[in-house]
Structure 1
Amino acid sequence: MPVLVLDSGNALFKFPTPGADPKEKERAGLLLEQMDALGTTAMAVGARDLTLGTGFLLQRTKGRKMKLLSANLVDAKGKRLFPASTVVTVGEVKFGLVGISPEGPVLQQAGVVGHPPAKAAIAEARRLREAEKVDVVVVLAAVPYDEAVLLSKEAGNAVDLILQSHESRSPGVPQRNDFASLISSGERGRQLVRLALSVGGKGPFVDLGETSRAQQSLRILDKNLQQARQSLAAAKDEQTRKTWQETITSFEARRKGLALQAEGTGQGSERTLSLSTLTLGSGFVDDPELKKRVERIQPPGSASH
């Protein structure tokens, strides 16, 4: 199965201000090296990637396959510091990848500023659709979650997927406000998010997990509905019976919506997604050589380990 490895940013530094971590350069360098070794195609430039400025990033990624992307980060002259996007074909699918950074000045570097990210992402996504004829547009959004939600509402059908990182938000279920599906990609490298796509047609991606989640919720709701009906039958006074009847009416209305989802709304769709998350921990075997390098930066027992 063809695989595309991406990172939505905020990966390199623990702290947004320089000097807080004495091994920050070594740590960031090792992460960049390993991301490249894993075959990461692109990464958005986030706030926690800019701790040592754009010069450090450009120098350390020179000659690497992984591309740093930001459609809205510019210097004092208004020139982009990183490519806005890149195009890659995986299997027979042509992906357009767009990166966005937080809005506002970069405190570590005078003159560097992030323009409004949603506007920049939409403009670049439309260009990729029209000029590059891509099949899928993915925005790597190293911005606050609220900004990513705004993008999902304003992008129309220009964007298919938004992979967000900023606030150390754990992965959740995909959210679709209009056309684009918004997914938080995890925090502090503790999770590996796997997104399996079936690509065809022109509509929005349908979340296959929505059906199973609806079926589970429906089972719970049916138990609650049964208990509510038993309580109504046992109730003696009129006010208690009225309260239970209102509860049952509310449950039945909710059940109709869940039943439609549980029937399998996405079955037969040409464009589907299935999200799974792998939490990384002690159950995974370490690479001995890599472990030694990590422990030189973060010794066992230290506060940073």
Structure 2
Amino acid sequence: MLVLDAGNALFKSRDSGEAPDAKARAELLLSQMDAQGTAAMAVGTRDLVLGVDLLKKGTKKAKLKLLSVNLVDAQGKPYFPGSMVADVGGVKVGVVGVSPATTGPEPAAPSVKGKPTPMLKGLPVEPAVAAEVKRLRAQEKVDVVVVLAAVPYDDALRVAERVEGVDFVVQSHEGRGQGMAQRGAMATVIPPGDRGRQLAKLELRLDGPGRFVDVSEQERMRQSLGIVESNLAKAKERLAAATDPTTKQSLEQAVSSLEARRTALKKGVDGGATHSARTHLLSYIQLGSDVPGDPAVQKLVERVEPPGSAAH
């Protein structure tokens, strides 16, 4: 198992840094992510509210790796590693983190009177990811590449459509919540859930080379095929009983359309029946009241958000 976070996890919004509990809350989240075995997190806009130094200090002795392939300082030096490689049951997984591109330099920390403010810049997303993925494939010989994309959804889609060598793009930025895996020309976009309320679970099977096939997509096609076949049978019954020329013509068109749809779905289902060397299955674990909390962690949370407070 490999636990990853797509970023934008530490602050509720870009304007929440002035809250009295903001720093303690972010530090608690970083420490608990590390304690719970999170291997890597992308650095998103809502992780930079109190600056780069908070992130670096909060993970200095942690196993948790903060990743950003495109965040650089005023001299063009990266603030964080661009990627990491994890061995998961003998499978080499390359993980790339990417942050939003910026139109120009931005403060890398809150301003302090009398001190110069360090700056950061987010380089263009696609070329930065493409270069790092190419390096991972060529030098590290990874089996799977996951991009933790703490970027707007459109940028994540472009990575999935255009960047060769990527298998999965796990996107965060707008808080879109859970959803379906979306297949692009090169990779599949995975919604990771929102604000710790869901845990996305992506199960992979690797029996050889090739693209990953979505197991749930095959099941959805089978269900759709059953519905189409039922509707087709009803349309044929109505056509056989119809006497009005206009009605018959309309039903004939409906039958023709349903038959074409059935043919397309059967082709997809039959293709899925062939053994795929690589498959993925996305599901979600809802972290509601039915999932028991850890009493020790609850005490730590209550130090930051006391019971009865507005934030609790």
Structure 2 counterpart of 1:223: 230
Give the Cα–Cα distance (whole angstroms) in 1 for the partners of residues 309 and 232 of structure 2: 53
Aligned pairs for 1:119-268 (under 5 A) are 119-156=127-164, 158-233=165-240, 235=242, 237-263=244-270, 265=272, 267-268=274-275
Letter in 1 for 2:119: G
Alpha-carbon distance between aligned partners in 2 of 1:209 and 1:281, rounded to the nearest angstrom:
24
- Residues 266 and 272 in structure 1, CA contact (< 8 A), matched pair in contact too: no
CA offsets 1:136-161 (integer angstroms, 9 cap, x no match): 111111111111110111112x1111
- Between stretches 231-240 and 220-229, larger displacement belongs to 231-240
Whether the 8 Å contact between 1:211 and 1:263 is mirrored in structure 2 is no
Cα distance 1:33–1:267, how it changes in 2: closer, same or farther (>3 A)?
farther
Unaligned residue ranges in structure 2 (runs of 5+): 109-117
Identify which range, 109-118 or 274-283, moves more after superposition.
109-118
* C-alpha displacement of 1:28: 1.0
The amino acid of 1:60's aligned partner reads G
- Name the stretch that deviates more: 225-234 or 243-252: 225-234
Contact between 1:50 and 1:108, CA under 8 Å: does it hold in 2?
A: no
Q: Is the Cα contact below 8 Å between 2:42 and 2:68 reproduced in 1?
A: yes
Q: CA 1:135 to 1:266, structure 2 compared with 1: closer, same or farther past 3 Å?
A: farther
Aligned mates of 1:301, 1:82 — CA distance in 2? 38
Q: SS of the residue aligned with 2:199?
A: strand
Find the aligned partners of 2:257 and 2:107 in 1 and give their Cα distance: 53
Matched pairs, number: 302
Match of 1:304 in 2: 311
In 1, Cα distance between equivalents of 2:180 and 2:206? 19
| Residue equivalent to 2:26 | 28
- Whole-angstrom distance in 1 between the partners of 2:145 and 2:153: 19
**Kindly, what percent of the aligned residue pairs are identical?**
51
Larger of the two Rg values belongs to structure = 2
Q: Does 1:40 align with 2:47?
A: no
How many angstroms does 1:106 deviate by? 7.1
Q: CA deviation at 1:18?
A: 4.3
**Cα distance change on mapping 1:233 and 1:133 into 2, 3 Å:** same
- 2:13 maps to amino acid: F
User: Who is 2:112 aligned against?
Assistant: none
Output the amino acid matched with 1:289.
A
Is the CA contact (8 Å cut-off) linking 2:11 and 2:17 kept in structure 1? Answer: no
Inter-partner Cα distance in structure 1 for 2:105 and 2:65: 20
What amino acid is aligned across from residue 119 of structure 1 in structure 2?
P
Closer, same or farther: CA 249–298 of 1 in aligned 2, 3 Å: farther
Residues of 2 paired with 1:51 and 1:216: CA distance? 46
Contact 1:144 1:165 in 2 (8 A): yes
**Ranges in structure 1 where 5+ consecutive residues have no aligned partner:** none
**1:276 Cα deviation from its structure 2 partner:** 1.6
How big is the shift at 1:275? 1.6
- Give per-residue Cα distances to partners, 1:260-279, cap 9 Å, x unaligned: 23336164222111222111
Q: 1:184 to 1:269 in 2, by over 3 A?
A: same
Mapped partners of 1:232, 1:266: distance in 2: 33
SS of 2:196's partner is coil
Segment of structure 1 superposing worse, 131-140 or 176-185 = 176-185
TM-score, normalisation: structure 1 = 0.91
Q: Is the contact made by 1:17 and 1:108 (CA closer than 8 Å) also made in structure 2?
A: no
